[in-house]
Amino acid sequence: MTCAACAARIEKVLNRVPGVAATVNFASEKARVSVNRNVGVETLIDAVHKAGYQARLVTAGTRNEEQSRRAAQYANEQRHFWIAFALTMPLLLQMPLMLGGSHAELLPRWLQLALATPVQFWAGRRFYIGAWHALRGGGANMDVLIVLGSSMAYLFSAAVTLWNLPHHVYFEASAAIITLILMGKLLEARARGRTSAAIEALIKLQPKTALVERNGEPVAADVSTIRAGEIFVVRPGAAMPVDGVVVDGASSVNEAMLTGESVPAAKAAGAKVFAGTINEDGLLRCRATGVGAATALAAIIRMVEEAQGSKAPIQRLADSVSSIFVPVVVGLSIVTAAGWWLYTGNFANGLINAVAVLVIACPCALGLATPTAIMVGSGRGASAGILVKNATALEAAGKLDVLIVDKTGTLTEGRPQVTDVVALGGRSTADVLQVASTLEHGSNHPLARAIRDYASAHDVTPLPMTAFKSAAGKGVRATEGNRELILGTPSYLAENSIMVTAPALDALQRSGKTVVAVAEGSNAIGLIALQDQLRPTSRRAVQMLAAIGIDTIMLTGDNVATARAIAESAGISRYSAGMLPDQKAEQVMAMKSGRRVVGMVGDGINDAPALAAADVSFAIGAGSDIAIHAADITLMRSDLISVVDAIDLSRATLRKIRQNLFFAFFYNVLGLPLAAFGLLNPVIAGAAMALSSVSVISNSLLLRRWKPAPQH
């Protein structure tokens, strides 16, 4: 593809295939296609071929081949440029005289023809091929403009030379147009390669080989051969080959590529490790849990690629303009030529101004304005532990007015601990713990884990149960032998006609603790109080959100007293307690109806409905898989300041997109009339066109300077 018109053409052709939804990214030169099961890859590739282009499926193998192909192509284009440059320079020696109003020719016309011909048809061959493919496929692209403009100047000059006509020649214009645009393409390719640097860096993180224990001995093996359950050994300084769990050893692991956090994480038996992270000092033996495409690193790469290949809503205007850009410019050049010919009676004058119109026009800048900024922004976010699902989410995050936050695991550490066990009705604390641990057996909820851990520490073992039932956000119940057991919020027990009126209940809740009640049959037998610490950075994050004009609201399923205590500690004035998952989602929808852009941050299964309902949703990386899959942006650091970073990155990316679009539109809106009114020499027009795309990409690359807020 040579310009945005190419991308628009391919996208249109792919979307004509029944059962296909495609988006084409001009900056990354990739198409992301959703298909039904009846559409094969060959059908898609054939459609692209018929449009005049080539395509192939992206795999690990083709990715490496593509890098090699691009390197060879870049070297070939460099050679073409330098030869064209050497042939064009003698022609440009006449330019100062022409700019001064003189048309004296320093070089014989036959020599000018000899110098310009290889530039036009050898160095410029790629433009003719591209124009032919585009026209054959029923479209028109930037190559068509370049070929029309340079060929008009060359053929007119050649005719004047061969038939010795009484007109000036413009060989320097045709040759300079080709040479300058070749230079622009080289600069563009170099800059464009840097926009995908983040994804290439992620791909290189995973080592190619690993030490795997086979037949009791560590042997070097290709990473692709490791299977889940196998034991691998990681020496100090080496990267983790796959995801796993530490079986033996202790060390510090640098997980900056995953979380953006520079402080190494301590690892011991039972700790999780992730592919691409660096083992710093100790020897670790680990059991593989995620291999191949199932590693966290592979998931990050997929998510970043999907984000970079998606389109932001702000790009719609540029796409609409790009689709009609080339035909409009060709029409304007015809009008320019005819107008000047009629006005001055000088065909050559009209011709050269028409050439300037064709050459100054640049659909590339429009096509690159949004995707290059998205690519750099999403890549920079990935390196800081901010994974954006798509460009729409990245754009929406920068427009937030309201941010709704969950309490447990978002504002708090998400690691509650049992602080009090109160027995009621003459029962013992051991009875209360046994019933509670029985009901919470197998649950992954933070409160359930805390209760199980506390019971285990007090040598209390769970009992077998049947008829287990769960009420989301309320509690659980089951049968053990002939006993009906129930655990949940005091209000959940009240719904089941079990009243909890112990004086200890109010005291525990007023102290900011979460209280669950335990019952057997129709009688409450105890209370268990748990406390979760506020994250050290939560209050600062709320202050930072307020400073950038975002209201923070807390929604929690916990009781009012506990919610009030946490909200006051975090500096949040608006909160709602006792919220069920569907009520959280309803609250989000209600706020959206007020024409406010609403974001939601959560980490649990009960947050998934609200996350899905929000305009843009954030999942804390340490949260549940369901929450992460429902969210638009995943934060690998379990820290609310990461939300501030994501919003700041979004706003920085949007600024670059707006700057790029303004420049692209302003350039064309200003340049085309100047050329049409005869105020631009074609050589200057060619130079401006060559540098316009480079300036847009360079502006996008400034996003690489963006940095997340300090964590401490």
303-318, pLDDT tens digit by residue? Answer: 777 777 777 788 777 7
CATH number for domain 207-294, candidates 2.70.150.10, 3.30.1240.10, 3.40.367.20, 1.10.1530.10: 2.70.150.10
The residue type found at 304 is V
Token pair belonging to 398: 């920068």
What band does 604 get if pLDDT is binned at 50, 70 and 90? low
Query: Can you tell me the mean pLDDT for 281-307?
Result: 84
**Model pLDDT, residue 605:** 62
The C-alpha torsion from 193 through 197 and 198 to 202, rounded to 10°, is: 120
Q: What is the pLDDT of residues 545-575, one digit of tens each?
A: 999 999 999 998 877 888 888 899 999 999 9
CATH 3.30.70.100 segments of the chain: 4-61
Task: Name the burial class of residue 178, with classes exposed (0-12), middle (13-18) and buried (19+) by CB atoms within 10 angstroms of its CB.
Answer: buried
**Model pLDDT, residue 677:** 92
Report which of 695, 687, 694, 697 is spatially closest to residue 85, judged by C-alpha positions: 687
Token pair belonging to 144: 């068509």
**Model pLDDT, residue 242:** 92
CATH 3.40.1110.10 segments of the chain: 417-531
pLDDT at 198 over 80: no
What band does 582 get if pLDDT is binned at 50, 70 and 90? confident
What band does 623 get if pLDDT is binned at 50, 70 and 90? very low
Whether residue 406 lies in the annotated active site = yes
Residues 32, 22 contacting (CB under 8 angstroms): yes
Integer Cα distance of 575 and 553 in angstroms: 5
Q: What is the pLDDT of residues 204-243, one digit of tens each?
A: 777 888 999 988 888 999 998 999 999 999 998 899 999 9
| 232 vs 502: which has the higher pLDDT | 232
pLDDT at 286 over 90: yes
Report which of 191, 643, 658, 654 is spatially closest to residue 384, judged by C-alpha positions: 643
Taking all residues of the chain, what is their mean pLDDT, rounded to a whole number?
86
Q: What is the pLDDT of residues 428-476, one digit of tens each?
A: 999 999 999 999 887 777 788 899 999 999 998 888 888 888 887 788 8
**Model pLDDT, residue 499:** 87
CA distance readout (Å), 468 to 457, 478, 494, 605, 631: 25, 4, 19, 18, 29
Distance of CA 229 to the CA centre of its chain: 32
Residues 242, 221 contacting (CB under 8 angstroms): no
pLDDT at 600 over 50: yes
Query: Can you tell me the mean pLDDT for 606-622?
Result: 82
Integer Cα distance of 76 and 18 in angstroms: 39
CATH (residue range 417-531): 3.40.1110.10
User: What is the pTM (predicted TM-score) of this model?
Assistant: 0.76
Query: Can you tell me the mean pLDDT for 473-498?
Result: 88
**Model pLDDT, residue 98:** 53
Q: What is the pLDDT of residues 633-646, one digit of tens each?
A: 888 887 889 999 99
CATH 2.70.150.10 segments of the chain: 207-294
Integer Cα distance of 217 and 488 in angstroms: 50
Q: What is the pLDDT of residues 90-100, one digit of tens each?
A: 988 766 655 55
Q: What is the pLDDT of residues 140-176, one digit of tens each?
A: 777 888 888 889 889 998 998 999 888 788 888 888 8
Report which of 668, 669, 662 is spatially closest to residue 699, judged by C-alpha positions: 662
**Model pLDDT, residue 313:** 83
Query: Can you tell me the mean pLDDT for 408-430?
Result: 87
Q: Which of 406, 615, 639, 645 is flagged as catalytic? A: 406
| 363 vs 124: which has the higher pLDDT | 124
Task: Name the burial class of residue 551, with classes exposed (0-12), middle (13-18) and buried (19+) by CB atoms within 10 angstroms of its CB.
Answer: middle
Name which of 256-270, 283-297, 462-476 the model is least confident about. 256-270
Q: Which fold is adopted by the domain 4-61?
A: Alpha-Beta Plaits (3.30.70)
pLDDT at 103 over 60: no
Residues 5, 139 contacting (CB under 8 angstroms): yes
Q: Name every residue whose Cβ is closer than 8 Å to that of residue 695 and which is 6 or more positions away in sequence.
A: 365, 663
Integer Cα distance of 95 and 80 in angstroms: 23
Residues 455, 462 contacting (CB under 8 angstroms): yes
Report which of 459, 462, 448 is spatially closest to residue 418, judged by C-alpha positions: 448
pLDDT at 624 over 50: no
**Own/partner pairs, 32-37, CB within 8 angstroms, 24+ separation:** 32/306, 32/309, 32/310
pLDDT at 260 over 70: no
**Model pLDDT, residue 419:** 92
Task: Name the burial class of residue 197, with classes exposed (0-12), middle (13-18) and buried (19+) by CB atoms within 10 angstroms of its CB.
Answer: middle
Name which of 9-18, 57-66, 651-660 the model is least confident about. 57-66
pLDDT at 105 over 80: no
Q: What is the pLDDT of residues 24-54, one digit of tens each?
A: 888 788 898 999 888 899 999 999 998 888 8
**Model pLDDT, residue 455:** 92
pLDDT at 71 over 50: yes
Maximum C-alpha span of the chain: 118
Integer Cα distance of 323 and 139 in angstroms: 9
What band does 261 get if pLDDT is binned at 50, 70 and 90? low
The residue type found at 319 is D
